[in-house]
Chain A
Amino acid sequence: MSSGQVTKRVKYKTSVKDAGTPGRLSLVKERLVFRPNNPNSASKLDMQFKYITNHRYTKEGSNKAPMLNLTSNQGASYIFEFESYEDLHICRDFVGCANLMKFGHKGVAELLHRQQKLQILELIRKFIQNNPAEMICSSVQGCCKTIDYVLHSELQKLHQQFVGGGVLTEAEFWATRKKLLEKDANRKAKQRGGLKSSVLAESKPFIDGRTNRVTFNLTPEIVREIFSEKPAVHRAYLNFVPSKMADKDFWTKYCRAEYLQRSKNIAAAIAEAAEDEELAIFLKPDDILANETRRKIRRVDPTLDMETDQGDDYSHLPDHGIFRDGSKEVAESGNELYQRTLLQDLNRHAAVVLQGTPIDEEQLKDTQTVAEALERSKQERSTASKDDESSADQERLKGISQAMTIDDLRGSNDHHLAPLWIKDPRDYFDSRQASSVKTSIEATKGTMSSHESYGLLRESISQIKSMGLNHPVVASEVAQKVLSVLTHNISSTKYNLGKKPGESLLDSLPTSVRDELLHHHISIEELMKHFWSSYPITNKYLNTKVTKLKDEMSKMDSQLQKLKEAVQPDIRHQITLLIRPMQQALEAAMQHYDAEQQKRASKAREKPNGYS
């Protein structure tokens, strides 16, 4: 695989029912070759990927054999039956990628239009993962470029503008976008799974009736669950494996202990534990857990802490109170040391699930990595948690006192919300209308002429003068009213904007202007990106690039100016507001350029003086 070539044992078939010819299928960069085991067989195959138009495969989990079906452009189909699904998947991905490259830019674009973006991205990602960079680098990059290109049609425009206009070279343009896909890939991996809520470790041991053998089935996921629920086992693993015993021996011992535990044969468990100290570790109560319990019980919600009740109960001193009145249940006392019940396990499991122990899926490979990853995440958590533990406690206590309050006795805090009355939609809309009418009435009532509000302000100022500064200088409602009315005329846009959700300034502009604005914005952004990334200027190449960029920027500046002048006067104010940040960015860049240029010039003058 790493050489960019895949070879698998397959059976080649011309139709599904065909028995097939056993042989080897090799996939190389641009072609696929099938060589039958029997060299005399006629069914050889050697064809280029570019003739393959489509591929299909059987889904995992179906009863069918793992098969890959390739269709050529002549309509013939080639069916390969693999030995395993794993093989099938590798080959399928290879074919898929090869297909992609064959399609070229145009083909990918077509696929994209058929809404298959995700499949393609997935294919490419797999391909990148599985193959060394050099071999496929160029082709994949080509693909990436295309995808980007199509995904962002603005990009296309930009590309035309800058690369076509000679401001940037092709390489420069794409260099800033290399990470686009990687970012996408990263985002996907970031979601980390917690523990499953069902108890895996409780999966029953498999007992076959004939022999006395008991089989436990452990997967990395189960191991992870065991480790996070039983920290003592985790610690024992880290201590013993591999220095003292092998991985397998460890788990054999563990399973033995589990088996004893489950068979409820306490006597046997004690006997075995006495002989084998490592086995005893698994049977003994978990001391780490006990410590943790002691720590946790102190931070438990005091309104349900039943442990404190016990500490306060003087009537039930040993042998005080009524011992046998039929209401209390008789507790069966056994050997405490070796008794762990299912109920305890369930509680522990649920607690761990609730706490969450995120581990990356990739780390679920073997027990060793699981153990280490868990250890690391634990350490991270313990360092992180110490700081916010106390604050979290505070918050919880606050939550408790809030929970103590009776909700419906509190005054309703009016949000001017229409109650959601699902029973009858008409009621709902009616009440909404009513409330909107109400608010509009209130709004009209609230407006005053600017004269009035100015008068109000003066009045309150004189009041302050006479009475001195009392705590709230002006009643906040008055202040707000005055301010809003006085500023109403200064900027009507500001007043109107943001009042209604789903409406933005851009929507109110004519489409042509809006598009132009957006385009300018994007292109300025692009220019800035390149401009600032080329500082400090260390070589001539960068120097020329910056000069080119600068010219482009000044062109852009004038274009903005023109745009501003061209628009209708009634929206010019808004446009100016929108354009201003762009212009500022351009100006800043230009200033920087000038300053740098001057510095360079002075340096250049100094140098000859100093040396010659």
Chain B
Amino acid sequence: MKFQIEEVTVYFPYDNIYPEQYTYMVELKRALDAKGHCLLEMPTGTGKTIALLSLITSYALAKTESPIKLIYCTRTVHEMEKTLAELKFLHNYQVKHLGAAAKMLAIGLSSRKNLCVNPTVSSAENRDSVDAACRKLTASWVRSMAAENPNQPTCEFYENYDRAAGGAVLPAGVYTLEDLRAFGKEKGWCPYFLARHMVQFANVVVYSYQYLLDPKVAGIISKEMQKESVVVFDEAHNIDNVCIEALSVSVRRQTLEGAIRNISRIENEIDRFKDIDAGRLRAEYNRLVEGLALRGDLSASDAWLANPALPDDILRQAVPGNIRRAEHFLHVLRRLVQYLKVKLDTDKVEKESPVSFVASINSDAGIDQKALKFCYDRLHSLLMTLEITDTDEFLHIQTICDFATLVGTYARGFSIIIEPFDERMPLIPDPVLQLCCHDASLAIKPVFDRFQSVVITSGTLSPIDLYPRLLNFHPVVSRSFKMSLTRDCICPMVLTRGSDQLPVSTKFDMRSDPGVVRNYGKLLVEMVSIVPDGIVCFFVSYSYMDGIINSWNESGILKDIMQHKLVFIETQDVVETTLALDNYRRACDCGRGAVFFSVARGKVAEGIDFDRHYGRLVIMFGVPFQYTESKILRARLEYLRDTFQIKEGDFLTFDALIDVMNIKLTDRNLNQRQAAQCVGRVIRSKADYGMMIFADKRYSRHDKRSKLPGWILSHLRDANLNLSTDMALHIAREFLRKMAQPYEKTGSTTGRKTLLSQEDVEKLGNNGAQEMLY
């Protein structure tokens, strides 16, 4: 459908639109008009992404005089693929209605690992080895060597791309990673470098958060984005964590050992170079004297991970004299590693501020703050001079230099915490020195400063006024939308007892009770026989899941489950989990039906949707608690209180933790973000439906239950608060039968429209949206 929002004609690829999508677009348009940032919350299952994409692309089409670029950030690659699929759908629609004028270039960008088409490189195990293998073939010195020596292997895809030079362009269209690979294969061009090159010209770029937030990556990828861009962070409820992780480093024993090995290897290389090409080292020294840490004209294939500090904080100064010479720099590194080693050798938890830490490095190891600050650039320059291509071997020393640079750059917003062991396993010594960032606003500040509009949106951003304080920005629009449902399409239940009326819980003292294990099993056995297609089960931890599945297997419960549905399980191996998920979907698609066992804080819970028939029922076995005694969390709370006047209580309710500072009775608390994650992804649209069972007696307590997201609570009827297995079974049957009935999609029977047609929208446009909806 096609409609006007003020002067912008919006092309929306469906015949109908939800009212909340419409208002969402109106608000978004105002933010774009004001060239400011905005914060929008709208529940999942209301088609946020498509509303966002169609408004922004339509906006760009309407304002041809000052074209805006869309930078769309997702948390993961698979979310990126989903976004691109929706964009493709939208693009097809726009081209159909507007013709060639609507043509645009949209690309998804990822790492070499996901884009490389060279069979010898892409077969490497992990990302670092793919990067290194690529560098071995494409680094500038390797290529110049190949020009003289035909036996020197190079990458034909890169060579072809390089030869085509300016001619290597992507025609307009929407490119997923697979499309990019296919295009690269067909043309014989390297898709990774082509995509990186095209990022400057594309109308829409979709990539992961880190490409904008993590200075290490953003420094090379997102350097040249224009100011007239709209940056969207989708599913942004965890954005503060991404920000602080981007600026945090931890050093463990293995790191230090690896760093020592790296240093000796660099030493050997230096000696070798002294013999064959001493001039090169001298040239580097001269360059450093002139104040250039790096040559200005680095070719794209030489680019390494950039400086871990934020661009504004990097000093444009000459590298200090005491680390200019390669040998001297290595001595500094050695002393630093030695110092950290001593620090790590402690038997009690220590917390320090960066200032005092730097001071003690200075007094104990004789390394001043400025030298620390330049560590990363100096290392980078050295590795380039030494023409080292197997960069994956040098990750450890790189970590140490990242650490040094960060600690030397930032005096506040960070702290250094040394823990001799994990507090949950005090018997296993595993000392770790963590430089952790507490201030999420640090990493995101350059983004707010650089770009015209930044849109932060998610299904759950409440309390919505906390985000501007956490991220330190001033939104021009900050709105939270409610979902209007046509029918009660979600059915949450709290199950407190098994069929034998004994309470069920994952509380520590009941966890291994065979009665609880059996009751949980019986619940699932009953449910698999009545629920169609897919069922997802979440457990509180891997170890608990492992234990319960083993005992179900021994007692034959698993066999009973398999009578009805196939069983797939999340494991700690990502590849295996992905395949299991893929098979799970196949099983649901073909009608066989399946159960997926997953972990509440695992990767699956974080980002996989179980919408439509992939998740008709979600069972949450137990209450997922976050371990709140963590030193890092404490330190962060303290910092937030001191700097932003955010009370611990505020943040903790926000993070859905009970105020640990005041209530000492419980040290484990329910994490709302987690619970919402697990169950919140069952609804894709208003036509979808799903059930949720919270199987733990503690959910019937008000204080725990109230931590569940509001949209679930609003559907949780009092009658469903204290169920036993047989009652839950009865309710589930009733619910499924009810959902099978046809219903009036537009919701006109209930008085308020939940679906708008073309006419409705036009009427809205005339009357002003506000009156009708609110």
CB-CB < 8 A to A303: which residues of B?
A: 78-79, 81-82, 85
CB-CB < 8 A to B626: which residues of A?
A: 326-327
Binds B, one of A345-353, A493-501, A518-526, A539-547: A345-353
B337 to chain A, nearest CB (A): 13
A279-322 vs B, Cβ < 8 Å mask (1 yes, 0 no): 00000000000000100110011111111111111111111111
CA–CA, A346 and B553, complex, Å: 10
Tell me whether A346 and B567 are in contact (CB under 8 A).
Answer: yes
Tell me whether B576 and A344 are in contact (CB under 8 A).
Answer: yes
Tell me whether B632 and A312 are in contact (CB under 8 A).
Answer: no
Cβ < 8 Å to A, chain B residues 96-129: 110-111, 113-114, 126-128
Is A422 located at the chain interface by the 8 A CB criterion?
yes
Is B341 located at the chain interface by the 8 A CB criterion?
no
B222 to chain A, nearest CB (A): 12
Is A408 located at the chain interface by the 8 A CB criterion?
yes
Complex A-B: 8 CB contacts under 8 Å: A304-B78, A312-B114, A312-B127, A319-B249, A319-B250, A322-B244, A326-B627, A405-B89
Tell me whether A411 and B399 are in contact (CB under 8 A).
Answer: no
CA–CA, A209 and B531, complex, Å: 42
Tell me whether A314 and B742 are in contact (CB under 8 A).
Answer: no
Is A337 located at the chain interface by the 8 A CB criterion?
no
Tell me whether A306 and B178 are in contact (CB under 8 A).
Answer: no
- A305 contacts which of B77, B208, B572 (Cβ < 8 Å)? B77
CB-CB < 8 A to A324: which residues of B?
A: 250, 419, 422, 432, 434, 630, 632
Is B580 located at the chain interface by the 8 A CB criterion?
yes
- B579 contacts which of A300, A314, A342 (Cβ < 8 Å)? A300
- B77 contacts which of A309, A341, A344 (Cβ < 8 Å)? A309
Is B176 located at the chain interface by the 8 A CB criterion?
yes
Tell me whether B576 and A409 are in contact (CB under 8 A).
Answer: no
Is A243 located at the chain interface by the 8 A CB criterion?
no
A380-422 vs B, Cβ < 8 Å mask (1 yes, 0 no): 0000000000000000010111011111111110000001111
CA–CA, A341 and B81, complex, Å: 32
Tell me whether B608 and A304 are in contact (CB under 8 A).
Answer: yes
- Once A343-B569, A350-B583 are accepted as A-B contacts, the answer to whether A312 and B111 lie under 8 Å apart by CB is yes
CB-CB < 8 A to B684: which residues of A?
A: 406
Is B425 located at the chain interface by the 8 A CB criterion?
yes
CB-CB < 8 A to A326: which residues of B?
A: 626-630, 632-633
B220-253 vs A, Cβ < 8 Å mask (1 yes, 0 no): 0000000000000000000000101110111110
Binds B, one of A194-202, A465-473, A558-566: A194-202
Tell me whether B742 and A420 are in contact (CB under 8 A).
Answer: yes
CA–CA, A556 and B651, complex, Å: 96
Tell me whether B628 and A351 are in contact (CB under 8 A).
Answer: no
Tell me whether B249 and A406 are in contact (CB under 8 A).
Answer: no
A228 to chain B, nearest CB (A): 15
- Once A309-B77, A321-B248, A326-B632 are accepted as A-B contacts, the answer to whether A302 and B603 lie under 8 Å apart by CB is no
Tell me whether A320 and B249 are in contact (CB under 8 A).
Answer: yes
- B742 contacts which of A309, A320, A419 (Cβ < 8 Å)? A419
Tell me whether A409 and B432 are in contact (CB under 8 A).
Answer: no
- A409 contacts which of B16, B216, B632 (Cβ < 8 Å)? B16
Tell me whether A401 and B89 are in contact (CB under 8 A).
Answer: yes
CB-CB < 8 A to B110: which residues of A?
A: 308, 311-312
CB-CB < 8 A to B592: which residues of A?
A: 354
Supplied contacts A309-B77, A318-B399, 9 more A-B pairs, CB within 8 Å = A199-B558, A199-B562, A302-B177, A309-B607, A327-B601, A347-B579, A404-B86, A406-B47, A420-B742
Tell me whether B242 and A315 are in contact (CB under 8 A).
Answer: yes
CA–CA, A331 and B245, complex, Å: 20
Is B575 located at the chain interface by the 8 A CB criterion?
yes
Residue from A204, A313, A406 whose CB has the most chain B CB atoms within 10 Å:
A406
Which residue of B has the minimal Cβ distance to A322?
Answer: B248
CA–CA, A311 and B177, complex, Å: 13
CB-CB < 8 A to B601: which residues of A?
A: 327-329
CB-CB < 8 A to A350: which residues of B?
A: 566-568, 580, 583, 587, 594
- A406 contacts which of B50, B569, B590 (Cβ < 8 Å)? B50
Is A330 located at the chain interface by the 8 A CB criterion?
yes
Which residues of B pack against A, CB within 8 Å?
14-18, 47, 50, 76-79, 81-82, 85-86, 88-89, 110-111, 113-114, 126-128, 130, 176-178, 208, 210, 214, 216-217, 242, 244-246, 248-252, 255, 305, 395-396, 399, 402, 419, 422, 424-425, 432, 434, 436, 541-543, 546, 549-550, 553-554, 558-559, 562-563, 566-569, 571-572, 574-583, 585-587, 589-590, 592, 594, 599, 601, 603-604, 607-608, 612, 626-630, 632-633, 684-687, 741-742, 745, 755
- A199 contacts which of B111, B127, B559 (Cβ < 8 Å)? B559
CB-CB < 8 A to A322: which residues of B?
A: 244-245, 248, 250, 434, 436, 632
CA–CA, A343 and B88, complex, Å: 38
Which residues of A pack against B, CB within 8 Å?
197-199, 202, 204, 293, 296-297, 300-331, 341-344, 346-347, 350-351, 353-354, 397, 399-401, 403-412, 419-423
Tell me whether A311 and B687 are in contact (CB under 8 A).
Answer: no
B437 to chain A, nearest CB (A): 8
- A197 contacts which of B81, B114, B566, B583 (Cβ < 8 Å)? B566
Tell me whether B579 and A293 are in contact (CB under 8 A).
Answer: yes
Tell me whether B549 and A343 are in contact (CB under 8 A).
Answer: yes
Q: 8 tightest CB-CB pairs across the interface, nearest first?
A: A411-B15, A311-B113, A326-B630, A326-B627, A409-B14, A408-B687, A323-B250, A308-B77
Tell me whether A343 and B434 are in contact (CB under 8 A).
Answer: no
CA–CA, A197 and B593, complex, Å: 12
Tell me whether B425 and A409 are in contact (CB under 8 A).
Answer: no
CB-CB < 8 A to B686: which residues of A?
A: 408
- B113 contacts which of A312, A331, A351 (Cβ < 8 Å)? A312
- B578 contacts which of A202, A306, A313 (Cβ < 8 Å)? A306
Tell me whether B89 and A323 are in contact (CB under 8 A).
Answer: no
Which residue of A has the minimal Cβ distance to B15?
Answer: A411
Tell me whether A409 and B15 are in contact (CB under 8 A).
Answer: yes
CA–CA, A419 and B743, complex, Å: 9
CA–CA, A404 and B290, complex, Å: 55
B14 to chain A, nearest CB (A): 4
B402 to chain A, nearest CB (A): 7
A148 to chain B, nearest CB (A): 39
Tell me whether B419 and A319 are in contact (CB under 8 A).
Answer: no
CB-CB < 8 A to A400: which residues of B?
A: 85
CB-CB < 8 A to B111: which residues of A?
A: 311-312, 314
Which residue of B has the minimal Cβ distance to A317?
Answer: B395
CA–CA, A347 and B583, complex, Å: 9
CA–CA, A315 and B213, complex, Å: 10
Tell me whether B210 and A410 are in contact (CB under 8 A).
Answer: no
- B432 contacts which of A316, A323, A346 (Cβ < 8 Å)? A323
Tell me whether A305 and B562 are in contact (CB under 8 A).
Answer: no
CA–CA, A324 and B428, complex, Å: 14
CB-CB < 8 A to A328: which residues of B?
A: 601
CA–CA, A320 and B252, complex, Å: 11
B738 to chain A, nearest CB (A): 9
CA–CA, A312 and B255, complex, Å: 22
CA–CA, A422 and B559, complex, Å: 35
- Once A302-B177, A310-B127 are accepted as A-B contacts, the answer to whether A354 and B214 lie under 8 Å apart by CB is no
A354 to chain B, nearest CB (A): 5
- Once A310-B127, A312-B113, A404-B89 are accepted as A-B contacts, the answer to whether A302 and B583 lie under 8 Å apart by CB is no
Tell me whether B574 and A423 are in contact (CB under 8 A).
Answer: no
- Once A302-B78, A317-B128, A409-B685 are accepted as A-B contacts, the answer to whether A344 and B571 lie under 8 Å apart by CB is yes
B626 to chain A, nearest CB (A): 6
CA–CA, A351 and B568, complex, Å: 8
- B546 contacts which of A300, A341, A409, A421 (Cβ < 8 Å)? A341
Which residue of A has the minimal Cβ distance to B216?
Answer: A314
CB-CB < 8 A to A346: which residues of B?
A: 549, 558, 567-569
Residue from A318, A324, A341, A397 whose CB has the most chain B CB atoms within 10 Å:
A324
CA–CA, A339 and B437, complex, Å: 37
- B574 contacts which of A310, A319, A353, A406 (Cβ < 8 Å)? A310
Tell me whether B583 and A351 are in contact (CB under 8 A).
Answer: yes
B690 to chain A, nearest CB (A): 15
